[in-house]
Structure 1
Amino acid sequence: MASFNDTIIDTFRANDGVVGMHWEGKTLVLLHHVGRRSGKEYVTPLVAAPDADAYVVCASLGGAPEDPQWVANLEAATGPATIELGASTLQVDYQVVRPGDPRWESLYGIWCDYWPDAREYEKKTDRKFPVVRLQVPPSA
């Protein structure tokens, strides 16, 4: 049986990044990351708020009490990450920005303004969500 994320990934790939439904009109990316312990490659669909020549994604996990594993996987990785954006697969530089970092409030605000469910996620936990700024190469 396919997982919820598998269904989103399949829809994303079949429609050049357009998923529709709850995400109608929003940009999603598929973030590829390697498990820091398993070495296995994972793909995670994420709402991506445009920020000039970059995108901001958030480790909200729907308001779960702990950060999703993809954040720690990125922090343990070296070099660029891979995302699928629309019909393109791109290498991107990234910055994990955690609460307490002077950039966090601004970047988190960009994501919250873009994704209407953000405030509902906040109500489910005391955790402040890390954000990741994905820098898209100029030719993309």
Structure 2
Amino acid sequence: MSFMDEHLKSYLASGGAEGHILDLSSVGGHAVTTHCLIKVVGRKSGTPYVRPLIYGNVGGEIVIVASKGGADTDPEWYLNIRESETIGVQIATQAFEATWREPEYEERHQVWSYMTHLFPPYLGYQTSTTRHIPVVMLRAERPIPVFNE
């Protein structure tokens, strides 16, 4: 089982009591790195699935980065978000339905700078690919039940 699979399983099994904060100093991150879960519906399969992601908070919006470790293709979850008006997001023990948007121009530059401060490896990810790594901002709209296994 991969690290991400173990992280997801722990987050889900604990109802969010575990997995919200991880020590990522061994991979160039910080000892306290916050993680959310997102729930998206596959644009082809129609199947909902959950992914753990690093997140930040800018002006009350949840920020996630579609880095895929600097790969040359966007992550599937990002492609699925683009096909949805709302997604599920869970932070620790609270879950919400959220709308999304992508910041542009100066706002995007500021949000990207903030996220690279939260997780410095994003800088290396961007230099390893020619694609413009997307930044997604989520606004919680209404509470929903926490995600389960």
TM-score by length of 2: 0.79
CA contact (8 A) 1:30 1:84 kept: yes
2:68: which partner in 1? 61
1:123: which partner in 2? 127
2:46: which partner in 1? 39
2:27: which partner in 1? none
Measure how far apart 1:59 and its partner are: 0.4
Cα distance in 2, alignment partners of residues 39 and 50 from structure 1 = 29
Long gaps (5+) in structure 2: 25-29, 144-149
Q: Counterpart of 2:79 in structure 1: which amino acid?
A: A
1:21: which partner in 2? 23
- Give the number of aligned pairs: 134
2:140: which partner in 1? 136
CA contact (8 A) 1:11 1:19 kept: no
Q: Counterpart of 1:124 in structure 2: which amino acid?
A: S
Cα distance in 2, alignment partners of residues 91 and 138 from structure 1 = 5
Q: CA RMSD in A?
A: 2.1
Q: Counterpart of 2:91 in structure 1: which amino acid?
A: L
Cα distance in 2, alignment partners of residues 51 and 138 from structure 1 = 19
> How much identity, in percent, do the aligned residues show?
25
CA contact (8 A) 2:108 2:135 kept: yes
Runs of 4+ that moved beyond 3 A: none
After superposition, the C-alpha distances for 1:2-56 in whole angstroms (9 at most, x for unaligned) are 3432211122233524342316412111010001001111111111011121121
Long gaps (5+) in structure 1: none
